[in-house]
Copies of this chain bind each other. A is one copy, B any other.
Amino acid sequence: MKQPTILDVAERAGVSKSLVSLVMREPERVSDTSREAVLQAAQELGYRPNAVARSLVQRRTRVIGVVLSDLHNPFFADVADGIEEAAVQRGYRAMLSSGFLAPKRERIAIETMLELRVDGLIMLGSMMKVAKIERMADALPITLLGRHTRSKALDSVGVDDSAGARQAVDHLVSLGHEKIVHIHAGTAAGAPRRRSGYEKAMRRHDLQPRLVKGAFTESGGAAAMREILDGGDIPTAVFAPNDFAALGAMETIDAAGLDIPADISLVGYDDLALAALPRISLTTIGQPRADLGRQAVRLVLECLDAGRTTARHIVIPPTLVVRSTTAPPRS
């Protein structure tokens, strides 16, 4: 039951514990005979280095903590994948903690990560106040992902939501649309920029922005769409704040007996996998998700390995993905 330690291996191989340690870390610096003896002894005993002890003495764990708000959201899953891949590739491991939709659970998750002494922290879709996060940042490098900030203490990597919104509007205008409504998601992460990007783009085309309050959820999108249809002046195109909301809007439009895209064109945001399903086939704004994760890891490791101390902020442009929910307006 008890696992063998470096001392057991040393005894069996007839060398000192220090030499065993060296074999594990830099085998080339040890003579052939000693190396063989140690490796064989380790093999026979089923020795496995204890990363806990190593972390204690080295005062670092080579673990990057990832705190994310919701595993169900495929967006986060993709980003997490990018993080894990990049971390492993550079000799680190990623430790995920999920499932807080409550801010309180988020605090606990972060606190746990800090107690475990992760070397760096990546926060995904966090709702926490930047000032609060900054207060932790003297203990370790922290990168905010999918969120913008000008913080001097925190790194960030996000998508240019304003540009994404502009691409959506430009696409619809180029198809001939003029009455384009935006369902906005209030102050939720990323929503304000999508909204202002929409407004700016509309004005650049000399069109009147029209906003309806919704949310980042299916039901939020459905409710907003109902409000739009009930409002009388029905637009020829709707730009939803994300794919879930677009899905909700789609349901409402379907239920009203209207056709997409003939009666109403619809654009989402995120390019979730389900947006590509033939029965959905949603035109949307795609984000380089795995790349976001990789960039975040890069930022953290720059602080860790290269010793960077000034904050960096990376913004990645999104791309328009045209599918079947957009077409020129009728007549």
Which A residues have a C-beta under 8 Å from some C-beta of B?
1, 3, 48-53, 55-56, 61, 63, 71-72, 74, 77-78, 80-81, 84-85, 88, 93-99, 108, 111-112, 114-117, 138-139, 247, 250-251, 254-255, 273-274, 277-280
Contact = CB atoms under 8 A, between A and B. Distances in A.
Contact of A99 (B50, B85, B117, B255): B85
Of the listed residues A51, A139, A251, A254, the one surrounded by the most CB atoms of chain B closer than 10 A to its CB is A51
Contact of A96 (B78, B88, B95, B114): B95
B51 A273 contact: no
A284 to B, nearest CB: 15
A261 B273 CA distance: 25
B72 A84 contact: no
Given A71-B80, A81-B72, A277-B274, A51 B115 contact: yes
Contact of A117 (B52, B78, B280): B52
B50 A115 contact: yes
Nearest to A255: B278
B77 A97 contact: no
Chain copies in complex: 2
Nearest to A280: B279
A97 B96 CA distance: 7
B56 A81 contact: no
A182 B255 CA distance: 32
A84 B55 contact: no
A255 B281 CA distance: 14
14 contacts: A3-B139, A48-B115, A50-B115, A51-B117, A52-B116, A71-B77, A71-B81, A72-B74, A72-B273, A81-B98, A84-B99, A96-B98, A254-B278, A254-B279
Contacts of A250: 279
A72 B97 CA distance: 16
B97 A112 contact: no
Given A71-B80, A74-B74, A280-B279, A95 B98 contact: no
Contact of A115 (B49, B88, B99): B49
A52 B61 contact: yes
Contact of A94 (B53, B85, B97): B97
Contacts of A96: 95-98
Given A72-B273, A88-B108, A93-B112, 16 more contacts: A49-B115, A51-B116, A51-B117, A52-B55, A53-B56, A71-B81, A72-B78, A72-B81, A77-B77, A84-B97, A93-B97, A96-B97, A96-B98, A251-B277, A274-B277, A279-B280
Q: Give the top 6 A-B pairs by smallest Cβ distance, nearest first.
A: A96-B96, A71-B77, A51-B115, A51-B116, A251-B278, A52-B55
